[in-house]
Amino acid sequence: MKALITKNTIKHDLKQLGVCPNDVLIVHSSLKNIGNVVGGPVSIILALEEIISEQGTLVMPTFTENLCLPDDENVTKEELGIIKENMPIFHKDLTPVDKVNGFLTEVFRKQDGVFRSNHPHLSFASWGKFAKEVVENHNFDYAMGEDSPLGKIYKLNGKVLLLGSPKDAVTALHLSEYSVKKLYNPGKKWQAKVLKDNREQWIEYTDVDNNSDYFPDLIDNYILKNNNYKYGKVGNADCFLFPLVSLIDFGKLWLEKNR
């Protein structure tokens, strides 16, 4: 059997990394990379919550791009018609997260006391002191801008925790994109099915193209030029803890020069 990792081990490693009581924390995770955790995702979630306490706030992206109308040229007109007629609407309590967000996120969003925003594509789930505040009034258009959950975490001086996830998983960097008009103007048109005026219907909204291919380069440059981040192991996973404000502000300048 592979070496066992307990909740207490996770808590110790997170504290060594710099996770503190009262933190406002957005987490991107890979359960597989952390290792053989006794209790699996539940132990990791509880470890995070026990450290930051109910005076802190824990946030995870709960995206559902699979609910969007595909723009793949390989999808036929007939297939699009079938999708449009039969796609279920987004249900905050029922709709699972995309697999790319990880199993830990799917477990977290089901927990009692967790609130989820109402965006049919780019929702976030939140627990703790500012849970409701972070996810309420989530606009459909430009859903990762200043008034979004990401923008609220920025204003709360939050932190980004990469818990074994790759650097292209730092969703918060889309907040940097929104300050650089050339990256989102005129934006991409998306379609999703929602309940509106008491009936199910497709709506159109505008957002960035959600391309994160350049995020690793941006973060590597941030690491080279800053010493206010933390790196360490949580279980077997390589992990980073970044101050969100510093990372986003750096991202704005980097994008202006490099995109």
Task: Give the model's pLDDT for residue 85.
Answer: 92
Closest CA to 7 of 36, 38, 32: 38
Compare 1 and 20 and report the one with higher pLDDT.
Answer: 20
Domain ranges of the chain: 4-258
Q: Lowest mean pLDDT: which of 91-100, 208-217, 245-254? A: 208-217
Task: Give the model's pLDDT for residue 186.
Answer: 67
Average confidence (pLDDT) over 96-102: 88
Q: What is the mean pLDDT of the chain?
A: 93
What's the pTM value of the predicted model, to 2 decimals? 0.94
Alpha-carbon 178 to chain mean position: 16
pLDDT (tens digit per residue) in 195-247:
888 999 999 998 877 678 899 999 999 999 999 999 999 999 999 999 999 99
d(CA 52, CA 246) in angstroms, rounded, equals: 21
DSSP 173: G
Task: Give the model's pLDDT for residue 180.
Answer: 78
Q: Lowest mean pLDDT: which of 23-37, 98-112, 132-146, 204-218? A: 204-218
Compare 213 and 108 and report the one with higher pLDDT.
Answer: 108
Residue 73 pLDDT exceeds 80: no
Q: Parallel, antiparallel, or unpaired for β 159-163 and 24-29?
A: parallel
Q: Which amino acid is at 171?
A: T
Residue 6 pLDDT exceeds 90: yes
Residue 185 pLDDT exceeds 70: no
Would you say how long the chain is, in residues?
A: 259
d(CA 102, CA 235) in angstroms, rounded, equals: 17
pLDDT (tens digit per residue) in 59-72:
999 999 999 988 87
The percentage of the chain sitting over the pLDDT mark of 90, rounded to a whole number, equals 75
For residue 144, give both structure tokens.
Answer: 């990762």
State the DSSP H helix or E strand holding residue 57, giving kind and residue range, or none if neither.
strand 57-61
pLDDT (tens digit per residue) in 124-168:
999 999 999 999 999 999 899 899 999 999 999 999 999 999 999
d(CA 183, CA 193) in angstroms, rounded, equals: 26
